[in-house]
Amino acid sequence: MLATRLINVGEIRTVEVPTPTPGAGDIVIQVEAAGICGTDRHLFKGEFPSVPGTTLGHEFSGIVVDGVDSGLVTGTRVTCDPNNWCGDCDQCRRGRVNLCTGNIATGIGRDGGFAEFCAFPAARAHVLPAELDALHGALCEPLACTLHGMDIGAAKPGERVLIIGGGVIGLMALQLAHLCGSEVMLLTRNPYKQDLGKTLGADWVAGTPDQVLQQWQTGADLVVECAGVSATVAMAPALTRTGGRIVILGVLPSGAQVPVEPFDLLFREIQLHFSFLNPFTHDRAARMIADGVISVAPLLSRTISLSETAEAIAQPAPDGEVRAIVVPAA
């Protein structure tokens, strides 16, 4: 079968590899759709730890073709929670499974979904309706991560919530804040994403920090940074009202530095939080997408084949792209 593998930092290729067989506790799925995440580009650049020679792709869904003893019937559509925590380390015992010291993430530490077939732990598979659009299942993982960040931020009805970044995470966070009854503003320079944000529930849009403060002079109660850029993290405190809170959802490259003024955060009692992975949120994300609570169709910018995947990861995303989906059968 074909699979897109990170051979080494800066080297990614789509190659012929053996079709996987299930290990203990695994199922094998025929991959229907897999999203290209910004983390995949960090992996390519060596800005995020990974295992060389691994098939990338941690946002994917497909059809079970070998359920072994999992109880999952062949032909079931599932979405994969890529994080496989150990359950026995100190963090796992505290319920902080996203901080597990032994986590082996599918698509990062073991072969993932940029392939025709993938073997992964049956315990991390979540069933999707047979009638669901096959492409939509690939968006469960980013929604699960967004849910964790928004749980931390705890947006409330009537609060002002600023979403920084118009990518898939930002546009999902926007919808979740809107569902909470918050007043929502999207900050992105891209006019297309501004318009898309309005259709998804944004009450306001802005292209610069000054435009944010022109509309909300005292800032936002909750600022959610979804761009993963040092400059946008650095600007977040100035856009947060006194007594407010910030959640960093975007992934910055390892080693990136951001200037922060602790006195300002102290004097105005700004809470600064970080959100990592998707502890216990993947099933909720799958249900929300299956039920149409979160609109995902507008977030699908294009579909590509496996043969196009390596180049798509090695290059920056085209301007205005929200999410590219790899369809192995294409």
Query: For the segment 286-310, what is each residue's pLDDT rounded down to a tens digit?
Result: 999 999 999 999 999 999 999 999 9
Q: Is residue 288 part of a domain?
A: no
Looking up residue 171, the CATH number of its domain turns out to be 3.40.50.720
**Residue 115 and residue 156 share a domain:** no
pLDDT for the residue 49 = 87
We report the CATH number of the domain holding residue 88 as 3.90.180.10
Please write down the HEC assignment for all residues of 42-100: HHHHCCCCCCCCEECCCCEEEEEEECCCCCCCCCCEEEECCCCCCCCCHHHHCCCHHHC
DSSP 106: B
Q: Is the pLDDT of residue 69 over 90?
A: no
- CA–CA dist 302, 235 (Å, integer): 31
Q: How many domains does the chain have?
A: 2
Residues 122-126: what's their mean pLDDT? 95
Beta strands across the sheet bearing 160-164: 204-206, 183-187, 160-164, 220-225, 240-248, 271-274
Q: For residue 216, what is the DSSP state?
A: -
Q: How many CA atoms lie within 13 Å of 194's alpha carbon, on the beta-carbon side?
A: 11
The confidence score (pLDDT) of residue 330 equals: 87
- Tell me, yes or no, whether 287 lies in a domain: no
**Hey, what amino acid is at 214?**
Q
Same domain, yes or no: 86 and 159: no
pLDDT of residue 68: 74
- Statement: residue 260 has pLDDT above 90: yes
Distance separating alpha carbons of residues 50 and 220, to the nearest angstrom: 36
Q: Looking at residues 14-38, what average pLDDT do you find?
A: 95
Domain range spanning residue 183? 144-274
Q: Are residues 213 and 248 in the same domain?
A: yes
Residue % of the chain over a pLDDT of 70: 100
Strand partners, 8: 11
For the segment 181-212, what is each residue's pLDDT rounded down to a tens digit?
999 999 999 999 999 999 999 999 999 999 99
pLDDT at 139 over 90: yes
Contact (Cβ atoms closer than 8 angstroms) between residue 233 and residue 258:
yes
- Whole-number mean pLDDT of the chain? 96
Give the pTM: 0.97
